[in-house]
Amino acid sequence: MRVLAPVSNMDDALETAPTAGPGQRRFRRVLSRRDLVLYGLVILTPTAPYPVFGIVQQSSGGHAALAYAVAMVAMFFTASSYAKMASVFPSAGSTYTYAHRGINAHAGLLAGWAMILDYFLIPLLSVIYASLTAERLFPYVSNWIWACIFTIAITAVNLRGIRMTARASAWLMGIMTGCAILFICLSVRFVALQHGWAGLFNVQGVFRPDTFSIPLLLSGAGIATLSYIGFDAISTLAEDALDPKRDIGWATIAVCIFQGLICILTVYLAALVWPAFQSFPDTDTAILDIASLMGGRLMFGALTFVLLVAGLASALTGQAGASRLLLGMGRDGIVSSRVFATIDPRTSTPVRGLLVMGAVALIGSLTFRFQLAVELLNFGALTGFMLVNLSVVMHFFVRSRLRSGWRTVENLLFPALGALVCGFLWINLSLKALLAGFGWLALGLIYLAFLTRGFRTAPKALTSLEEEPCNAG
């Protein structure tokens, strides 16, 4: 779940100044390494494993902690690839910039197309979960009513400008962090009272020989990657960072590792509190039943509220982030510039793009199931991640011929492992997710064929792919 960073300089970073081109804008370089790390942690949120815990635990055969560890390994190698590419191409274009420069223009456009799926689904997924959570609090109000209310509310807030979102994120992060700490403390207390302190070191919280299966583990890990998706957004701040070539990569890897440790600890304790993973009353909201078991109605209500605000915060900022990505692609001519690159001069917001995003979130929340939305989001992200890993191999190992000593490890072995693990997670998504995801990629290939006259020419040069100078100021 993604939320904007509550850094003191964020408002300044969002102030832009016009450049020579009509409608073009540049960001001021004001973000330090600390700001970037905090931004990444707030995007991922300490409550990230809550919405998908039940799904991951059942999909992996009771191996949620192990699934999160596998996902962290995959994301670590991929985070290293993002760090490598950001060191030479510090551009806000991020994933599709790296694929364009590292592989070729066609791969760049395909990566951008895959990430559109990712960014479209972030607010949609958040609205779905917020609606499910609100329905648990108010069971007499249908979740489709909540979906309409939430979609209209987040779109209205975003239309007023990004400043309101940035300020609110600081408070929301505080609430979510407090809840995460409380959840861990109550879990430890519950397990210790039930089984003694030795119960906190039960191997079944990690490994169950009777239900272990590699395909099940990979299926769970594929869903668990949702809790890591967002570290890549740090690279989109390359044009806001004081020293992007140094700090973007460092922050990306640090956030990935820290998030992994938080997730593994959380799901391990949750598995100890409720070991009978096949008996969840409702898989989509299993974490609420665990909270009720260990903390009673008070904890159930508190966690439900926190999940509700986290979902709304993620939907709000996810919608804002998606509109920013589409704004850049609209300026490059990849998507409609009339729709996505139109900025309201009063609020500096892409009004038409936000309205489209709101419509997609509303329609999708009424037609998509939560688990399918989760897996489709991962399909888009994992596609982009594989292309970034391959970009490192192509740019550093093949073209630049950086192959001596340790360079072979970081320019070939690490990205190859990242691409391989992401590929395994990718193909182990559900059949429905794969069919829908490949359908989306097929549309992208058709669109790419149209732009390139049947792949006979390179796509139009992308203005946002031009490398920006790294001088602070």
Quick one: 341 exposed, middle or buried, by C-beta within 10 A (0-12, 13-18, 19+)?
A: buried
304-336 tens-digit pLDDT: 788 777 777 777 767 776 776 677 667 666 777
Q: What is the radius of gyration, based on Cα positions, of the chain? A: 21
Q: Would you call 55 helix, strand, or coil by DSSP?
A: helix
Is 220 within 8 Å of 63 (Cβ atoms)? yes
- Choose the weakest-confidence range: 343-352, 405-414, 439-448: 343-352
Q: Would you call 349 helix, strand, or coil by DSSP?
A: strand
Q: Would you call 291 helix, strand, or coil by DSSP?
A: helix
Helical residues (DSSP H) of 141-229, grouped into ranges: 143-159, 162-195, 214-224
Given this model, what pLDDT does residue 93 score? 65
- Domains in the chain, please, with CATH? 10-463 (1.20.1740.10)
At 191, is the pLDDT very low, low, confident or very high (cuts 50, 70, 90)? very high
Phi, psi at residue 344, to the nearest 5°?
-75, 120
Is 22 within 8 Å of 251 (Cβ atoms)? no
Which pair of tokens denotes residue 304? 């439900």
Read off the amino acid at residue 11.
D
Residues 6+ apart with CB under 8 A from 297: none
Q: Which residue has the higher pLDDT, 117 or 214?
A: 214
Mean pLDDT of 349-359: 81
pTM: 0.75
Per-residue buried b or exposed e for 147-163, using 16+ beta carbons within 10 Å of the residue's own CB: bbebbeebbebbeebbe
45-58 tens-digit pLDDT: 788 898 889 989 99
